[in-house]
Amino acid sequence: MKTKSNTDPRSHIVQVITKIYLDGMTTTSGGNISLLDEEGNMWITPSAIDKGKLTAEDIVCVKKDGSIEGKHKPSSEYPFHRAIYEARPDIKSVIHAHPPALVTFSILRQIPDTSILPHAQEVCGSIGYADYALPGSNLLGEKIAQSFAATEDMAVIMENHGVVLGGSDLSDAYARFEMLENCCDIILKAKAIGSPNFLSEEKISQLKAQKQLAVNTTASSPSEAVDSKAEVVEFIRRANRQKLISGSFGAISVRTASNNFITTPSGIPFWMIEESDLVEIVNGEVLGNQLPSDVAVLHQETFIENPEINVIISAQSPNLMAFASTARKFDVRTIPESWIFLQDVPCLSFEAAFSGNNTLASTFAEDTPAVLVANHSFTVTGKTILQTFDRLEVAEFSAKSLVAGAHMGDLVPIGDEHIEDLREKFL
């Protein structure tokens, strides 16, 4: 996985642990992060220091010879970090935390099935399991290291404790962490409203084999793409903060001229994307060396098929994906805002994500601005970035209410006569 890294290990660790904490994926006292530098020194978060207030000066260096530099003690669980690095030389960064969905699997003593999403399986792979041991003990380190050493797994569920993940660098480990938590969240929400469906290896392989856009490294950039870039960056970062887009799947694309468009890149954490990272698609070709997301082909097909659409957002928002992974109807007749913004949201088969069949592109219409694709994505369209983002946000909020209320009873939708009143006044 191609990622963007901060060259200062202390600052990068603070940047990531702060995001994890602010995103509600660990507590003030819970979790720890480390990375190895080129000299084999381990930089790690300190013990018993507020995760919400860490600075670069708080990060501790455990030297290759075992000596410690820093004004604090290293995390009490640094022994298992060291054990992982010794067992797996390919791992250069480790994240341990207590995010709610992953902890749910930990305390149920279950391993999440990442095949609920093709991208989760690609990023996270199979998940290992380590039996319980005393936190901070050498035995815990041995059990975790054994799980990592026995396979090529990059994530291990810690029994009645949490999760630990590895990466080729810290950005890589974080993308995996965020994707796996979202995957677990989707499974739990899907079980709340029905029975989740999982993808076969054959279907996942078929998706991977789909045609991607050609790359042109010599063409120059047209000037019309510049105006929208700041807005794209603003909204992709906001979507990540709002947990509408997370992990390594998701994209915002904006038409620039004709069927040309700019889109968000692959391999760069959404919260780190800058204007210079955005990818331009001109005459069906990718300009430059930065690759777009996997859905760029589908976005191109949608722009070609629907000249009135100027913006497309694809996401795997957890409550929406609960509906996409159970094939349960996402009924937007919940409150007036939801119906006015969305009207109807069909759920297409997984094969609609395959390029070339135009199934997704041809489904969009004036009264169908958004579409679910089973076990793949929620894609929403609009004339402006604000309108399209607003539709995404409204859709996820509506889905969240439906998931939360599922154990209370069935939805009582707005009646047909009231829908007609809304249609007459607002559409």
Q: Give the residue numbers annotated as catalytic, written as ranges.
A: 77
Are 123 and 181 in contact by the 8 Å Cβ rule? The answer is no
Show the DSSP H helices in 151-200 as ranges: 170-193
> Which 8-state DSSP code applies to residue 350?
G
What are the two backbone dihedrals, phi and then psi, of residue 155, each rounded to the nearest 5 degrees?
A: -150, 140
Closest CA to 122 of 84, 163, 94, 155: 155
Q: Residue 380, Cα to own-chain centre: how many angstroms?
A: 17
Report CA-CA distances (Å) from 88 to 11, 82, 92, 127, 352: 25, 10, 9, 15, 39
Q: Is the dihedral of CA 360, 120, 102, 8 positive or negative?
A: negative
Q: What is d(CA 420, CA 297) in angstroms, rounded to the nearest whole number? A: 37
Instruction: Tell me phi and psi for residue 101, to 5 degrees.
Output: -70, -40
Q: What are phi and psi of 177, to 5 degrees?
A: -60, -50
The contacts of residue 218 (CB under 8 Å, 6+ apart) are: none
**Interatomic CA distance for residues 239 and 243, integer angstroms:** 6
Dist CA 395 CA 93 (whole Å):
36
